[in-house]
Structure 1
């Protein structure tokens, strides 16, 4: 039993320092710029070490060998992307514009396998609660969203200009993926007839043409069609 504990302790310590060295060699991009490839690589590397440590039939040499081989493969890919620019899009991915000139690019969202709910979540993480505030939205290769706000929503704010503050309303989504959200419409204080009339003023006769629409108290109805 003591021998088993000794070997387990040795393998744990070796695996720990091996992963530490690999992380240092590969650089900070493993954490701060985690691409899908980096994420999978980290999972596989951890799985290799974990299996090697807890499998009694696998010795210390296997732990070291597995870490070195997999770490070499990851390092080789990183070297390729730095040496040959043409490989970056394939191996690391590339940013894509999902909000362009204030409009959601529905086709680009489809290419990125993202739905409107996920986009809204990423915007809220940027303290943006209304798509109408955004001029451009760029989905980075690591899955984060970078935004450029419209001029009216940029700093300085009212406090900087010593202006009187006003009550802030939360935007309400009324149409999502061509379907009217009845509960949200009721919460906004309006009815279906009002919404139909609003759509008609934009030349829209069928809500199924609308990819996304939101209502903000004190402002106009924001509409983004599939063709926008």
Structure 2
């Protein structure tokens, strides 16, 4: 029983250590992972796992290793922010794989980058014909970014010299979640709660029926209720 209790305590310590380490290192380590970020994440996970269940190693020994590794990552990331050469060394440079609709096979071979994976990433960028691509490159975090040739790009209001209505705010404002009004968002954006209640009344919706309500940048209010009135929803498992 004592061993089980020790493992439980060590697991809690491991979780807290990993959480604090992730908060210290920022979002980059857990989102857009370069080669260095990948190595750092795997190593932190391995050390944390040992901290959780390897009872043959003292807690303080593993935690010192964990703290040292977090410190090393922090120093590397801090130095990378200040020095471009260090940043390029650890993060790397993007690699061009398509230029003017033609594949650069040499660059693809250097990265051991397959055609199947290229096609998958192109489709994720809504590109199904490589001839449409002006330039495409693999970023240091492994994602593909592509710029279509001018004749294949989407037409915007700017291209047509159309006047756009100014946005009332930059991002959508969440007003309600799970039937509860988000008072803070209303106050920060000078929105009266009575106005929101009037909008619900106009649509014949009760407050408790609202799952999600958001005010779009164009000023339109989107409301989703718990009951969608769809006879055969496609999201059933």
The TM-score with structure 2 as length reference comes to 0.62
The answer as to 2:32 corresponding to 1:12 is: no
Aligned position for 1:152: 151
Q: Post-superposition, which runs of at least 4 consecutive aligned residues in structure 1 deviate over 3 A?
A: none
Contact 2:51 2:63 in 1 (8 A): no
CA distance in 1, matches of 2:11, 2:89: 35
Q: How does 1:41-120 map onto structure 2 within 5 Å?
A: 41-120=40-119
**What is the alpha-carbon distance in structure 2 between the residues aligned to residue 22 and residue 57 of structure 1?**
24
CA distance in 1, matches of 2:26, 2:117: 30
Cα distance between partner residues in 2 of 1:57 and 1:132: 59
Distance 1:20 1:83 in 2: 26
CA distance in 1 between counterparts of 2:37 and 2:48 reads: 17
After superposition, the C-alpha distances for 1:66-99 in whole angstroms (9 at most, x for unaligned) are 2201111111211221122112222111111111
Q: How many residues align?
A: 157
| 1:79-137 residue CA offsets vs partner (Å, 9 max, x unmatched) | 22112211222211111111112221122112222122221121112121110111110
Does the aligned pair in 2 maintain the 1:15–1:63 contact within 8 Å?
Answer: no
CA distance in 1 between partners of 2:13 and 2:52 (Å): 10
The alpha carbon displacement at 1:64 in A equals 2.0
Tell me the residue number matched to 1:214: none
Match of 2:130 in 1: 131
Task: Describe the SS at the equivalent of 2:141.
Answer: coil
Q: Does structure 1 conserve the Cα–Cα contact (< 8 Å) formed by 2:40 and 2:73?
A: yes
1:37 lines up with 2:36 in the alignment: yes
TM-score by length of 1: 0.64
**Unmatched tracts of structure 1, length 5 or more:** 162-228
Gaps of 5+ in 2: 161-237
Give the deviation of 1:142 after TM superposition: 0.5
2: distance between equivalents of 1:126 and 1:104? 17
Q: How far off is 1:143 after superposition?
A: 0.4
Secondary structure of residue in 2 paired with 1:94: coil
